[in-house]
Amino acid sequence: MKGRMSLNGKFALITGSSRGIGRGIALKLAERGAKIAIHYYQNEAAAKQTLAMIQERGSGGFLVQADVTKPEEVQRMVKNVHSEFRVLDIFISNARPEVSVFFQPPMDITVEQLDAAFNSQAKAFLIAAKEAARIMRDGGRIIAITYATGSRTGGLLPWVGMGSAKAAMESLVRYFAVALARRSITVNAISPGWTEDSVLNTLPEAAQNLIRSWHKQGWTPMRRLGTPRDVGDVVGLFCSPEASWITGQVIYADGGASLMNAEVPPEIQLT
């Protein structure tokens, strides 16, 4: 691919890229020419499928396995990427544990469940960003995938562990943005809304249908849920040279859902 949006000659590590949002990001960056380190934890078959899809798009990469809740495995993951690619230009922190590992309300959540959330988000980001920055070329990109609504509200009670962990990760994004600015490495967080082929699909079917229906009726002004490709498109924009002046920000990529007033029915807001 020619032009300013090309990522030819660039190397990216995307955690949790075997499926869902991570896969959508991987495919977008591959379409622009980047080579991808596809991280997975347990689902090697899905990771191999992502690699095949990347190769179909004329790019390449390799698989790297790690449990991002364990600091030593995060460090090993980045070392493996360094051995394979020699350099890094893009690091995307996207991986999370399965919902069942952390999804408990404040009065029921255990310390172990809270740790699972924090270890996979704030702690994993801290370690991976440090390690990635050491092998990253100047002008690189570090992006954390967050859920800013959940990190700032308290209504979805079982999200307390992950919401708190995402809030801590968003704070780390700002500190790393300042720390790496002299090297022209930007550090941002992207906050998708409810997205197909993501955590949504792990919920009971009745809950999924309620969420889809609510958003199609107008809670998302564009009247649909997001897709992994939508998120990949935003990441692609932030990996372009034109985004070099944006750092330390949380960017909502949610079709306008974050603009809605929670106290007013969407039927009134959209008239």
pLDDT tens column, 90-135: 999 999 999 899 999 999 999 999 999 999 999 999 999 999 999 9
Per-residue pLDDT tens digits for 132-150: 999 999 999 999 999 999 9
The 10s digit of each residue's pLDDT in 222-254 is: 999 999 999 999 999 999 999 999 999 999 999
The domain limits of the chain are: 11-200+228-256
Question: Residue 172 half-sphere exposure, CB side, CA atoms within 13 Å?
Answer: 23
Mean model confidence pLDDT for the chain: 95
pLDDT tens-digit series, residues 25-61 = 999 999 999 999 999 999 999 999 999 999 999 999 9
Beta-bridge partner residues of 144: 93, 189
pLDDT tens digits for range 78-88: 999 999 999 99
* pLDDT band, residue 199 (cuts 50/70/90): confident
pLDDT at 200: 84
pLDDT at 3: 53
Specify the pLDDT at position 204. 83
User: What CATH class is the domain 11-200+228-256?
Assistant: alpha beta
Share of the chain above pLDDT 70, in %: 98
pLDDT one-digit tens code per residue, 49-58:
999 999 999 9
pLDDT of residue 1: 43
**What's the pLDDT at 207?**
86
Spatial separation of the C-alpha atoms in residues 11 and 135, rounded to whole Å: 11
Burial class for 197, CB neighbours closer than 10 Å (0-12, 13-18, 19+): middle
